[in-house]
Structure 1
């Protein structure tokens, strides 16, 4: 290219000249913009508009419109642009998210997560069987086996010198060696060493394999052990005064040797310096010397400890604790010397005298020390007590006489002296003690107990009453709880009259008038629970005096007297009770029952006659009199009583008992005749309907019985026993479908019941089982448990219906649903009984009867178990508890009790024995339950 061309290209690519206006030569007009001259600034400062000063969020750090006003138009514009940006961002969000997902998937395809890599293996874990899972090794086993293999693979080559030495030892040379001439004999050189022949004088037995004693390490170890054993035996058998070593425990004894670490040594040194500073700056401070001595003792320097405490005794001669510490660090003989010096310095120290006496092993020397101490310190109660404890009774009485003169404020001394004296002298001692210490209540209580022990019971109440007044005069006010605790102690100390007197004086202290009855009853219950029935009897006596017309107080007092008193005291209490509360029928009945149980039938009749006069229209009194006559083989009297009762108090129960009496006597016609007016008077009493249906069915009038029950379900649609009786009647005559229908209708009518009618569900399940429809029974049971989730009756039946292998699982579900239901507990106890877990079975049987004492089946099961596995005492205890509980419910119990051939006149004991016989293990099963349900009736 020519130079001209080069210059033209350079000019063409260069910058325009200053003040150049494009197109000016063609007539264009030039103009100037803000960008040509830049922003207007008042100060002339330049603005940094580079990219380094720009932020996407906040823009330039310096305002581009600095100095310009921000008006409403600017704000509207900013708002509009913000909305535009948000709208555009919303439109681009889906595309942005898709793009992000694609990039993430692409990245995961190259580098997947750990959980994705093993996803297929996780899914295959569901195919692993239980056996394969159990055979998997533990996490550490593989590592341990590999480490063991590596350890076993270690190899250390044998040194060449050892191999060469072994070769030489096995090598045999037959040449003669003139150097080996021992005792005129010849030796054979074996492996470089001379070994005498067996026949020579210095011969030794050769080792097997050519080994010599120098290189047979096993033989050397055995020999060393033999030598050590011999030495230990010699030392352990030594009786010549040398140290005896335990051959088995000498190594373990080394564990008791304390080895101090450097840190402990440093701490001891620091503490030694500090305590040294304490003892030097304040030598009269006894605890400092004691601490310094104990530090040396802990450090194992007993001699230094004794030296330090000796210096402390010189510096603190009046401190008894320092002397006692010095005696403790010495041997017993030296300790006596130390304490003798201490007594010279501090003759009035009680602690030093007692310590000196305790060091004496001879009883006579100990007495001498204590008597010498009493000469020096005659007013010490501790010294007197220690000295008196060592004396025989006669000498102790003499010393106590002297002790109360020296220490008259010691109450224990006065009381101990009174116990050792005779009755007359004890009264004098206590009177003198009362005059000396008028503020001590224990003296008054001891005086009352003394009079009670000698038969002066009337004086006891006067002493306690006088004590209360005297203590109040001397401003001694004991709290109510303190008095009651003293009364409790007196009763447990065989002084019940004193205890009752204290209770009568203290029971009203600090109790508001409106709270007396409640608090007194609570106090009585708590005292009985703590084993103080006499104190509780005193509380009831005060309560009956304060509230003579309260029936509840009389009843609780009578119950307490029945449990802890005699028949005579109970009879006297009940006679007082009916005189104050003649309208309280329960008191009359309690009195009549006690007379009857004691065998006094005439006395029971007399009480009931008095009850008739006081309560002529009482249903309970009439029925009690009828029961007394019927159970004592007086049916005519019972009939007359019931006839009068129907005239005076024709209640539902009176009519029912009248019909039941005729039925039990076998008079079916009379019973049916009575049912007519009975149902007319009480048409909605369902038990009368059931009685009529039962009697009609027994008389062979099945159609009439069906009609009676049909009328009953209309009159009493909410009564479950009526529906059950109707269904059982239909089932007994082969109409299973109709029975099933009746039960279903009954359940529909009882849908809104609070508990869901579990009896109806249970009967439906048993109906299907008796019909042989096990599958239908299981289905019904599942529905029943959904409707009645907390019904123990259904859960117990469900346990019995399961196969033996599944019964434990069902029992666990039942306990979760209703843990405190007696029927479930009964079913579980029978499982334990079946599995021969006797202790658990006994515990669960006891739990069942505790939860529901009225469940006769639980008592029968408990008694049957004890008959098989218990002792006669345990069987008697269950029988006693059952008679006291007097149960009335339970399928088996009700069936036996309502058996016409056995129920009349049977006691609770006889019923229990029969029920236990039927409920013996192996006889009481699910099928047996079905049979008992079929044979039982709905009548009460």
Structure 2
């Protein structure tokens, strides 16, 4: 009652803004005055007052008691202001029933309007948020990126605060007094706590209690303990949630636009999915809307608008926009396709059906309609309806044929070629499904309808080859070229070559070769034929077209039968990609056309020898002797054949004849080496003594003489042989190195230095001599001198790969990587540098990179035996058995002959019978593991 009387006595002007021109105290005689500091118009005492309201009328006390609150908030439609109309009438049961009925009707009407009201509210809210987005929406992309922040980065973020606040600049540790456990335990139990536990109460002294004013307990509570009920925390949380819901509700009591049950779900759906700037989306939306309004028949504008809404997560808005687009642009198939894509399942079928009614001739819409169907039967039905509407569409016919069985497909294709007689693909597909006789008829009809297409002729040639009519293939290809030329079709050589490769992949070898023979000379000048054809063969071989390359070589050899280089390239091709029989047949033809080509005879003899057909190899060499009498290569090949097969007496007789008929330095060398290998030192010394008289400028003879003397233990004689040799052959680098190594083995390091220095004076800028000098110092333990020598060597030979490779491993482990980078800059493609880098990766346990660099090394220089040996050792330690065997196989094919470690094993007289594979294993076993 007190509250009601207060509202009645409340004055109407309280809380209302002052009227225009109101001056406080003006009614009591107060006037305005002006000083010099005032800004604005002054007011004179004679001015007429601007007061629009009269002075307040004094009312009696009884009138004041009868005053009521006339604000709009106090107005009710039925009761008036403050319920003054009916507040004195009694509230009976009939009134209560009437109010219940009215309330039920209002609730029913409210539920009917709720969906429309919430939809309108969401639209208004979306429009409002689009114009004025929330701060959290503008920074949503940045908030999402906070998930990538690590815990360490969170810890280093400074606290937000005012640096002017002394308390924040100098924070003090907060002091907390814990609540006794008895209070927490009893609170969990569910009842209010009325007293402290005596055991814990004993822990607080009376002096401590006096320090908390106002009855505050040591647990930090400001209310008496008896009034504490911790269950109220949950009630407070629920109250807070109700307050938040009420904040977004209407001002009218009982009517709200928020569904409390779907509130959280609605909030979840309002989360932004677009990670970009909301302002960019707003601008794009406005621009697209202006485009749609300006030109509503522009289909791409509707599509762009729908995709913008889809990107931002408003899929329903996108669907609505694109459906409006279909109404505005009913003849634009892109709009219909976009609408079908955005709609789900059955709705998409309805949309695409409507699109078909609008644009029945659109092939893309029919294909989309077939894609929507999930069953094969439905897809077939759609395609058949589509072909009734668009019978001349090749794409529809192909899609329909792909879904049919072979017999039905043949029937469809028969109809398809009638509707689309210019489609080569349909004719060829029908020919593949027909029998041989019918296929020939189909291809003949195809040639009549399309006389300018080459694929029909090529398919006809393939058909004849598949049915064993090889003699017809050449004729068909020749007729094809003649017919195409007659129809003014340009013969594209590269295109026909590609067709030949396709024929080879399809297994039509005769067709492939016929095409090569027919077009290989097209648009090629006579002087460029050999060069162009060899390039074509290499290209085919690189692409895997071995039959095409073989056909190119065969045609080139018919045009240039006496060209030794073509025969050699063809023989190498057959050795790599053919069989032994094909190689031997080719070599027989080669020696018949080029009997003076010694290498062709030798390749034929070697092929027979590798096949263990020694008599055939001997007969080939005998024929080679007749064609090339007194040929050094053939003599030595015959000697090697006999010595490898342990026919030593025959080898000696051959060498004796060779020394009398073809007395070259190599013949004398092989004679000495044979006796040395057989252990006859006396005979070998006699022969070499005679040989150095005949050929004193042959450095290898002097090297062999010194090595034989060393093996016999005659160091002084060996030193004398080397001395005479370097005086006779001062440019022979291996001879100088062999002489220096003799002195090192004899512990005469100073003399070895002198020899190498003298060698460098006679052979300037020689990296091998510098490397030998560096190694002499390294073996002697003088690393500082070795580094100085290496620095001089690098200045003298800055682009030497062997020096850079040695310099890498002379450095410490931390500096090797930098040195290797410098080496690669100087000598990018040097095999020694690549080998050193491979070993460096090996030492760092980077096995994948080491394997790649080893492979690169042996590809750049397959003749470097050291690279193969390191590669084989690497695979033996870290690779599989297949990888190791692959390296061995490739090494045997490459037959390397060079390399310091490789030559040390292969030139050893005790290993003269070892094959390449055995030498590879021996060299790999002698190599140290890189460290």
- The answer, yes or no, to whether TM exceeds 0.5 is yes
The 1:747/1:450 distance shift into structure 2, 3 A limit, reads same
Deviation for aligned residue 1:216: 7.0
Deviation for aligned residue 1:267: 6.6
2:394 is aligned to 381
How big is each residue's C-alpha offset from its partner over 1:328-375, in whole Å with a ceiling of 9 and x where there is no partner? 676654555565566556554444444444443333233223223333
Q: How do 1:469-488 residues align onto structure 2 when only pairs under 5 Å count?
A: 469-488=482-501
The 1:339/1:893 distance shift into structure 2, 3 A limit, reads closer
1:912 is aligned to 920
The answer on whether the counterparts of 1:723 and 1:746 sit within 8 Å (CA) in structure 2 is yes
2:272 is aligned to 255
The 1:894/1:355 distance shift into structure 2, 3 A limit, reads closer
Q: Is residue 390 of structure 1 aligned with residue 403 of structure 2?
A: yes
How big is each residue's C-alpha offset from its partner over 1:161-202, in whole Å with a ceiling of 9 and x where there is no partner? xxxxx9xxx9xxxxxxxxxxxxxx999999xxxxxxxxxxxx
Deviation for aligned residue 1:413: 1.3
Deviation for aligned residue 1:427: 2.4
Q: How do 1:280-291 residues align onto structure 2 when only pairs under 5 Å count?
A: none
How big is each residue's C-alpha offset from its partner over 1:645-694, in whole Å with a ceiling of 9 and x where there is no partner? 22222111111111111111112222222223322221211111122222
The 1:275/1:813 distance shift into structure 2, 3 A limit, reads closer
The answer on whether the counterparts of 1:896 and 1:914 sit within 8 Å (CA) in structure 2 is yes
Q: How do 1:88-127 residues align onto structure 2 when only pairs under 5 Å count?
A: none
Greater CA drift, 480-489 or 666-675: 666-675
Query: Could you tell me which of 410, 427, 435 is aligned with 1:414?
Result: 427
2:803 is aligned to 794
Deviation for aligned residue 1:847: 3.2
Deviation for aligned residue 1:707: 2.7
How big is each residue's C-alpha offset from its partner over 1:295-322, in whole Å with a ceiling of 9 and x where there is no partner? 9999975686467446436xx6x66666
Q: How do 1:746-765 residues align onto structure 2 when only pairs under 5 Å count?
A: 746-751=759-764, 756-765=765-774
Name the CA distance, whole Å, in 2 between partners of 1:671 and 1:215.
117
Name the CA distance, whole Å, in 2 between partners of 1:587 and 1:707.
43
The answer on whether the counterparts of 2:447 and 2:456 sit within 8 Å (CA) in structure 1 is yes
Name the CA distance, whole Å, in 2 between partners of 1:257 and 1:892.
66
2:788 is aligned to 779
Name the CA distance, whole Å, in 2 between partners of 1:246 and 1:744.
95
Query: Could you tell me which of 312, 315, 326 is aligned with 2:328?
Result: 312
1:830 is aligned to 839
The answer on whether the counterparts of 1:312 and 1:322 sit within 8 Å (CA) in structure 2 is no
Q: Is residue 609 of structure 1 aligned with residue 625 of structure 2?
A: no
How big is each residue's C-alpha offset from its partner over 1:731-784, in whole Å with a ceiling of 9 and x where there is no partner? 444544333322221111123xxxx12222233333334445444444333333
Q: How do 1:42-61 residues align onto structure 2 when only pairs under 5 Å count?
A: none
Q: Is residue 367 of structure 1 aligned with residue 380 of structure 2?
A: yes
SS in 2 for 1:889: coil
* Count of matched residue positions in the alignment of Structure 1 and Structure 2: 721
1:670 is aligned to 683
How big is each residue's C-alpha offset from its partner over 1:365-390, in whole Å with a ceiling of 9 and x where there is no partner? 33223223333443332332222222
Deviation for aligned residue 1:494: 2.4
2:704 is aligned to 691
What is the TM-score normalised by the length of structure 2?
A: 0.69
The answer on whether the counterparts of 1:275 and 1:291 sit within 8 Å (CA) in structure 2 is no
Name the CA distance, whole Å, in 2 between partners of 1:596 and 1:789.
46
1:766 is aligned to 775
2:876 is aligned to 867
Greater CA drift, 661-670 or 731-740: 731-740
2:905 is aligned to 896
1:876 is aligned to 885
SS in 2 for 1:591: helix
Name the CA distance, whole Å, in 1 between partners of 2:193 and 2:759.
120
Query: Could you tell me which of 718, 721, 731 is aligned with 1:705?
Result: 718
How big is each residue's C-alpha offset from its partner over 1:474-497, in whole Å with a ceiling of 9 and x where there is no partner? 222231111111112222222232
1:466 is aligned to 479
Name the CA distance, whole Å, in 1 between partners of 2:922 and 2:884.
14
Greater CA drift, 463-472 or 357-366: 357-366
The 1:895/1:477 distance shift into structure 2, 3 A limit, reads same
How big is each residue's C-alpha offset from its partner over 1:480-526, in whole Å with a ceiling of 9 and x where there is no partner? 11111111222222223222211111111111111111111111111
1:153 is aligned to 167
The 1:736/1:352 distance shift into structure 2, 3 A limit, reads closer
Q: Is residue 592 of structure 1 aligned with residue 605 of structure 2?
A: yes
Deviation for aligned residue 1:875: 0.2
Name the CA distance, whole Å, in 1 between partners of 2:235 and 2:275.
31
List alignment gaps of at least 5 residues for structure 2.
Answer: 1-154, 172-178, 184-190, 197-218, 246-258
1:839 is aligned to 848
Name the CA distance, whole Å, in 2 between partners of 1:880 and 1:289.
66
SS in 1 for 2:451: coil
How big is each residue's C-alpha offset from its partner over 1:254-282, in whole Å with a ceiling of 9 and x where there is no partner? 12279996886677566545544545xxx
How big is each residue's C-alpha offset from its partner over 1:380-439, in whole Å with a ceiling of 9 and x where there is no partner? 323322222221122111111222222222211111112122333322322232233222
Name the CA distance, whole Å, in 1 between partners of 2:662 and 2:261.
100
The 1:597/1:531 distance shift into structure 2, 3 A limit, reads same
Q: Is residue 543 of structure 1 aligned with residue 556 of structure 2?
A: yes
Query: Could you tell me which of 851, 855, 858 is aligned with 1:849?
Result: 858
1:523 is aligned to 536
Name the CA distance, whole Å, in 1 between partners of 2:266 and 2:647.
88
Name the CA distance, whole Å, in 2 between partners of 1:778 and 1:701.
35
The 1:218/1:638 distance shift into structure 2, 3 A limit, reads farther
Q: Is residue 637 of structure 1 aligned with residue 640 of structure 2?
A: no
SS in 1 for 2:886: helix
Aligned residues: CA RMSD: 4.3
SS in 2 for 1:391: coil
How big is each residue's C-alpha offset from its partner over 1:805-842, in whole Å with a ceiling of 9 and x where there is no partner? 65555545544543433333333433433343322332
What is the TM-score normalised by the length of structure 1?
A: 0.69
SS in 1 for 2:862: coil
Name the CA distance, whole Å, in 2 between partners of 1:327 and 1:846.
54
Q: How do 1:147-296 residues align onto structure 2 when only pairs under 5 Å count?
A: 153-154=167-168, 209=221, 219-220=233-234, 251=268, 254-256=271-273, 268=285, 272=289, 275-279=292-296
How big is each residue's C-alpha offset from its partner over 1:224-259, in whole Å with a ceiling of 9 and x where there is no partner? 59999xx9xxxxxxxxxx999999997597122799
Deviation for aligned residue 1:154: 2.7
The answer on whether the counterparts of 1:896 and 1:911 sit within 8 Å (CA) in structure 2 is yes
2:515 is aligned to 502
The answer on whether the counterparts of 1:855 and 1:887 sit within 8 Å (CA) in structure 2 is yes
The answer on whether the counterparts of 1:504 and 1:542 sit within 8 Å (CA) in structure 2 is yes
Name the CA distance, whole Å, in 2 between partners of 1:560 and 1:723.
41
The answer on whether the counterparts of 1:306 and 1:330 sit within 8 Å (CA) in structure 2 is no
2:729 is aligned to 716
Query: Could you tell me which of 671, 691, 696 is aligned with 1:658?
Result: 671
Deviation for aligned residue 1:220: 4.4
Name the CA distance, whole Å, in 1 between partners of 2:274 and 2:567.
75
Deviation for aligned residue 1:914: 0.8
The answer on whether the counterparts of 1:370 and 1:383 sit within 8 Å (CA) in structure 2 is yes
The answer on whether the counterparts of 1:865 and 1:920 sit within 8 Å (CA) in structure 2 is no
2:50 is aligned to none
